[in-house]
Amino acid sequence: MLHAHRLLIRTLSDAGDTVRRTSNAAQWATSAANKFREVSRDTENPATKELAEGLAHLAEVIREMDAK
C-alpha cells in the first residue's frame, strides 16, 4: 500500500514538471495513465484503488484533449 501511495505522489510530481517543460501533454498523459492503472491493479486499499482509477481516467481525458 505504501508503494502505491509513493507511486501516485511521484507520478503527480512528475506530471507537473513535464507539463511545465512541454506543451505536448499527450506523452505525459499516456505514461501517467499507465502508472495509475498499475497502482490500481497492485493496491489492496479501496480508496487508493478508486483514486488511481480516477487519475487514470483524468490522464486519458488530458491525452484526448491534447490530441485535438
pLDDT the model gives residue 44: 92
pLDDT (tens digit per residue) in 14-50: 655 555 554 577 788 888 899 999 999 999 999 999 9
Contact predicate 39/5, CB 8 Å: no
If one counts every other C-beta atom within 10 angstroms of the C-beta of residue 17, the result is 10
Q: What is the pLDDT of residue 5?
A: 63
What range does the domain containing 20 cover?
A: 2-67
Model-wide pTM > 0.85: no
- Determine contact, residues 38/6, Cβ cutoff 8 Å: no
Please tell me the total count of domains within the chain: 1
